[in-house]
Amino acid sequence: MHTPVEIEAFLERTLLKVQKPARYTGGEINQVVKDWDHIATKIALVFPDLYDLGMSNLGLAILYELLNQRPDVLAERAYAPWSDMEAELRHASLPLYSLETKHPLAAFDIIGFTLPYETLYTNALNILDLAGIPLFSAQRNEGHPLVIAGGHAAYNPEPMYPFIDAFVIGEGEEVIDEIVDVQQAWKRCGASRQDLLLSLAQIWGVYVPSLYEAHYHPDGVLSHLEARFPEAQLPVLKRIVGKLPPAPTHFIVPYIDTVHNRAPVEITRGCTRGCRFCHAGIVSRPVRERSVAEIVEAIEQALANTGYEEVGLLSLSSSDYTDIVKLVEAVSQRFVGRHLSISLPSLRIESFSVDLMDALKDSRRSGFTLAPEAATERMREIINKPVSTGQLLDTARAIYSRGWHNLKLYFMIGHPSETIEDVQAISDLCKAVLAEGRKLIGRRAQVTAGVSTFIPKPHTPFQWVPCDTLEQITAKQELLKRSLRGPGLKLNWNSPEDTMLEAWLSRGDRRMAEVVYQAWLGGAKFDAWKDRFRFDLWQQAFTAVGLDPAFYTHRLRPLEELLPWDHISTGVRKKYLADDYLRSQQGVTRDDCRERCYACGILPSFAGLRRLNTGDVWQCPEVKSPQGMADRLHPLAINK
């Protein structure tokens, strides 16, 4: 195995030849370096995209801080090298290494991939290849690292099933400790790799795909997933923490610009809104909030530890945080005069949101973002984002009159049952908003429309619906490009091919893994990057494997069909999702859960967790069941 000394020497020779050398050096403020030779478990946390993106990933930052608090564990980082650095590594026959101590990834006990989105899959394979670790789980032996993966994309793990030894389904804060404990016990007793996998499979929230076998009907639809060992759970219930642990505050401060140069503080996890297209809204249930005091203290510490001048208060719907007014008051009082920029993303469309942003006095007034997602009231009812056009225009007026010039509006095309009139309405609505702005602030008013394309996601009420075809998406985008133009108007859109790739992968089954592999063999990587993404490689991969891509995207799946991710339980019942889907077809909305509980199923699964979350925070209502499914399975984990 190559040594850190060899890798350091390589870096000396190479860094001046590659773009942004600081991506590859480590050594930043707050990185943690431990004594390699005296630590039992070494974990490489890998974000399979560029450093510039991965450094802003909150999930990885949380695990890095938590793991390094354990005296018997060291956690280091690795990111996907850009093509210039990859070429240098391959030319020198050197493996990918960790930033902290420059050890090859193959020298770690555990490789932990963060997979927040599907278009990172080929990069994950490329990283394993660069590390000299066999790509397929079945080819790894006792001397190879354990390869695990988690993140939102892991809620449908099947397209990556042969490459990953174990997936973490859900939140990683507690389960990662249990994985480390199991790995240490296995290492001490010298058992086989299969024994390690069987032990991991018994941890709540861990899915070991090699312990199951998928069977298909002749028409290609999944017939059943067979558990091949008694240790293999069916279903695999996601892991969550009962109470949000203390927020991380020792963020590593990069030497180069990254996507977000700020301290992120998660104010709440989960969402009660029930937008039918939203994957995060379903998989992160139930809502758990941090207290105002905890958040303010976390900001204070993060600023002291990092020197950042920007703080992001993160959640899926900030205005819904129970004490949002108190929080904004507390933050603006505590940090007044400290030249801080505080962002509060994901605000509801109402003038109250403008009051909140106004109260954060030091925030920059460059742009205000709202996400109506659809431009007609009919369409907003179908997707369960019921906001009236009048309310949107009122909010726009409040925004322009309070000092913001550019209103960014996010929409999606391709929602179920969308007509060409619904698409045209996006243009009309943007023009109506701009007209309101012009009345108030004249020609300074601007509207930027970001129009992405709806992708049906697993575990959502829209998981059964077809996605628009390339031709449909192109026609809708052309309409918008023709009509949404003029002074003060700007339109941004995603390429239809990018949409297709994400759509194939997000609802793929195990057979899709061969497509991912063939695409990577053909040269696919950095699929999330416009200038690197090669649609033709994916089309060739489908042909080589003999699969029809339309099977995954353009087929209306019957409600009774067994879906490739049905063995992964988010706690929300499939029947609830189906019922919500049928409501959407009738244009019937559901209220915010805070007004009324619809018994989505999350509480019977996690009833015991309520007891941990005491204090003045919002919670789902009590359920009659004294014990949830998770409590029965894992009483110690719940009650500790």
Give the interface with ligand SF4 as residue ranges (CB under 6 A). 272, 285-286, 593, 597-600, 602-603, 620
What does the H/E/C string look like for 157-203? CHHHCCCCCEEECECCCCHHHHHHHHHHHHHHHCCCHHHHHHHHCCC
CB of 270 to ligand SF4, least distance (A): 7
What does the H/E/C string look like for 131-147? HCCCCCHHHCCCCCCEE
Closer by beta carbon to ligand SF4, 551 or else 576: 576
Classify each residue of 287-315 as buried b or exposed e, where b means 16 or more C-beta atoms within 10 Å of its C-beta.
bbbbbbebbbbbbebbbebbebebbbbbb
* Neighbour order of strands in the sheet with 446-453: 367-373, 406-413, 446-453, 489-493
CB of 364 to ligand SF4, least distance (A): 34
d(CA 83, CA 46): 17
Closer by beta carbon to ligand SF4, 436 or else 580: 580
Tokens 């609802």, residue?
Answer: 507
Closest-CA residue to 308 (of 299, 318, 321) = 299
Closer by beta carbon to ligand SF4, 54 or else 286: 286
Closer by beta carbon to ligand SF4, 66 or else 271: 271
d(CA 582, CA 385): 16
CB of 279 to ligand SF4, least distance (A): 15
CB of 620 to ligand SF4, least distance (A): 3
Closer by beta carbon to ligand SF4, 229 or else 598: 598
CB of 628 to ligand SF4, least distance (A): 11
Closer by beta carbon to ligand SF4, 459 or else 511: 459
Residue pair 146/67 in contact by the 8 Å Cβ criterion: no
Report the amino acid identity of residue 494: N
CB of 603 to ligand SF4, least distance (A): 4
Closer by beta carbon to ligand SF4, 429 or else 609: 609
Structure tokens at 507: 């609802």
Q: What number of other Cβ atoms are within 10 A of residue 185's Cβ?
A: 12
Closer by beta carbon to ligand SF4, 182 or else 602: 602
Q: Is the peptide bond before 487 cis (omega within 30 degrees of 0)?
A: no
Closer by beta carbon to ligand SF4, 500 or else 577: 577
431: phi > 0 → left, psi -120 to 50 → alpha, else beta; which? Answer: alpha
H or E segment and range at residue 51: helix 51-54
Closest-CA residue to 325 (of 267, 242, 388) = 267
453: phi > 0 → left, psi -120 to 50 → alpha, else beta; which? Answer: beta
Closer by beta carbon to ligand SF4, 454 or else 618: 618
Closer by beta carbon to ligand SF4, 102 or else 348: 348
CB of 287 to ligand SF4, least distance (A): 7
CB of 486 to ligand SF4, least distance (A): 42
Structure tokens at 403: 């000092």
Residue 483 sits at φ, ψ, to 5 deg, of -95, -25
Closer by beta carbon to ligand SF4, 45 or else 600: 600
CB of 594 to ligand SF4, least distance (A): 7
CB of 598 to ligand SF4, least distance (A): 4
d(CA 29, CA 32): 9
The answer for residues whose C-beta is within 8 angstroms of residue 459's C-beta and 6 or more apart is: 155, 156, 279, 282, 283, 565, 568, 570, 572, 577
Closer by beta carbon to ligand SF4, 242 or else 286: 286
d(CA 628, CA 604): 5
Question: Strand, helix or coil at 271?
Answer: coil
Closer by beta carbon to ligand SF4, 287 or else 426: 287
Closer by beta carbon to ligand SF4, 360 or else 600: 600
Structure tokens at 339: 């030249």
Structure tokens at 433: 């908003």
Distances (CA, A) of 222 to 218, 291, 510, 517, 557: 9, 45, 10, 21, 12
Closest-CA residue to 357 (of 404, 323, 317, 390) = 404
Report the amino acid identity of residue 107: A
Residue pair 156/504 in contact by the 8 Å Cβ criterion: no
CB of 244 to ligand SF4, least distance (A): 16
CB of 322 to ligand SF4, least distance (A): 13
